[in-house]
């Protein structure tokens, strides 16, 4: 079977490949600490599960509108209006199965051959993959440790050309945990307006924040009409397996995205959407508790990594990832690159984690660890990494 040309442009999220490798080792009897996949280790709060069961028993088993159930679109509009301090109406909301489809649909709707899309690198790997897939030019914006992995505005300015169609931003950031400050967001907003560029603001970790304030680029004058907010339930409510997310955009673009939904999924599962209404309108305590637990784990893992000779780790302000610099360890162990070190730590130490390059070429010299795991497991991982690094001499 000969595949269509476009399939050669499609990338992958390698965290799932590392997970498969780790599971193979476990099947052979090895004990592995999982720090590779980015999902909360908590269960979905009980009242959300109850709402889904109730919805199923009440007959929410049929197709729904492609843009989402009116009650969820309303709940999202209210929630986004309140959390971002902007005014959103339900017609601006498109409900989709997870946050990811908003990336895909945004790129399908707005970018094609001849267009350029600027995206963070290191960054969520699906941005680059999808930019290539739609035939646009991927223009990486390197994020540097010296800038605590925030965008370098001068560098961004230099990347903009008359063909720049879209800038993707992600704050709090995967894989670095960095958070864009108000001044940087304002500068990005100014550039977007000046050059008539649309912004995809991936705010999926917006509530997983430990320091400072969450600022959405939509808060700056003139930005709401040129921004697509990507958000969802996966991280905030520990609902990764439910597949529930949404985009907030102009009404005109929402109509186009609804067409993409109707062509691809028909609609998002209806009982899942009713669970989403319960998540947004119900008690938020479980979510706050998760964030408090993540903060404790962040402090543990950052301090633990920084105490290992040869590793340096910036303290992230949000999300649940750390992105330590391991250049010295790579050199000492004569590894070819970060990926070889990540493979070594899985094979020799039983710690599954990601090479920084799984998030783009500017991730070389770094690893990504998800600390959405228990304190005892994190301590075990730190001990194992420390021992493995000490053995390198």
Ligand X SMILES: Cc1ncc(COP(=O)(O)O)c(C=O)c1O
Among 44, 106, 171, 174, binds ligand X (CB under 6 A): 174
Quick one: which of 175, 279, 169, 274 has its CA closest to 226? 169
Q: Of 232 and 350, which CB lies nearer to ligand X in the complex structure?
A: 232
Quick one: which of 370, 358, 371 has its CA closest to 123? 358
Residue 171 contacts ligand X per CB under 6 A: no
CB 308 within 8 A of CB 322: no
Q: Of 55 and 130, which CB lies nearer to ligand X in the complex structure?
A: 130
CB 257 within 8 A of CB 105: yes
Residue 98 contacts ligand X per CB under 6 A: yes
d(CA 107, CA 283) in angstroms, rounded, equals 35
Q: Interacting stretch for ligand X, rule CB under 6 A, among 28-36, 94-102, 299-307, 371-379?
A: 94-102
Q: Of 217 and 308, which CB lies nearer to ligand X in the complex structure?
A: 217
Contacts of 198 (CB under 8 A, 6+ apart): 110, 165, 166, 167, 192, 226, 227, 228
Q: Interacting stretch for ligand X, rule CB under 6 A, among 95-103, 129-137, 192-200, 265-273?
A: 95-103
Residue 202 contacts ligand X per CB under 6 A: yes
197 SS3 class:
coil
Residue 245 contacts ligand X per CB under 6 A: yes
Smallest gap from residue 177 Cβ to ligand X (A): 11
Residue 64 contacts ligand X per CB under 6 A: no
Smallest gap from residue 17 Cβ to ligand X (A): 15
d(CA 350, CA 373) in angstroms, rounded, equals 15
According to DSSP, residue 318 is labeled: B
Residue 362 contacts ligand X per CB under 6 A: no
Residue 45 contacts ligand X per CB under 6 A: no
Which residues of the chain form contacts with ligand X (CB under 6 A)? 38, 98-100, 124, 170, 174, 202, 204, 232, 234, 240, 245
């Amino acid at each position: 079977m000969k595949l269509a040309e476009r399939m050669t442009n499609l990338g992958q999220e390698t965290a799932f490949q590392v997970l498969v490798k780790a599971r193979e080792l476990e099947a052979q009897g090895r004990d592995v600490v999982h720090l590779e996949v980015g999902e909360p280790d908590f269960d979905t709060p009980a009242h959300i599960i109850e709402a889904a069961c109730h919805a199923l028993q009440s007959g929410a088993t049929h197709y729904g509108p492609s843009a989402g159930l009116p009650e969820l679109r309303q709940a999202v509009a209210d929630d986004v209006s309140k959390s971002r301090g902007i005014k959103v109406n339900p017609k601006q909301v498109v409900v989709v199965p997870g946050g990811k489809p908003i990336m895909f649909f945004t790129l399908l709707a707005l970018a094609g051959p001849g267009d350029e899309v600027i995206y963070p690198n290191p960054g969520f790997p699906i941005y680059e993959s999808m930019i290539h897939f739609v035939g646009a030019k991927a223009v990486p914006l390197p994020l540097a440790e010296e800038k605590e992995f925030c965008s370098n505005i001068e560098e961004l300015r230099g990347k903009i050309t008359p063909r720049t169609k879209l800038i993707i931003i992600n704050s709090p950031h995967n894989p670095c945990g960095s958070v864009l400050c108000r001044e940087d967001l304002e500068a990005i907003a100014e550039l977007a307006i000046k050059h008539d560029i649309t912004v995809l603001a991936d705010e999926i970790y917006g509530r997983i924040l430990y320091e400072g304030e969450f600022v959405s680029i939509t808060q700056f004058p003139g930005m709401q009409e040129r921004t697509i907010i990507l958000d969802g339930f996966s991280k905030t409510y520990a609902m990764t397996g439910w597949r529930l997310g949404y985009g907030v955009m102009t009404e005109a673009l929402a109509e186009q995205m609804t067409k993409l939904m109707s062509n691809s999924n028909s609609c998002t599962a209806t009982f899942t959407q009713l669970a989403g209404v319960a998540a947004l309108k119900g008690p938020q305590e479980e979510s706050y508790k998760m964030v408090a637990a993540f903060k404790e784990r962040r402090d543990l893992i950052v301090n633990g990594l920084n105490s290992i000779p040869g590793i340096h780790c910036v303290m992230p302000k949000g999300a649940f990832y750390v992105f330590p610099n391991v250049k010295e360890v790579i050199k000492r162990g004569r590894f070819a690159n970060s990926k070889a070190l990540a493979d070594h730590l899985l094979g020799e130490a039983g710690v599954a984690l990601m090479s920084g390059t799984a998030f783009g070429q500017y991730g070389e010299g770094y690893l990504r660890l998800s600390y959405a795991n228990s304190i005892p497991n994190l301590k075990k991982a730190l001990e194992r990494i420390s021992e493995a690094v000490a053995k390198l001499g």
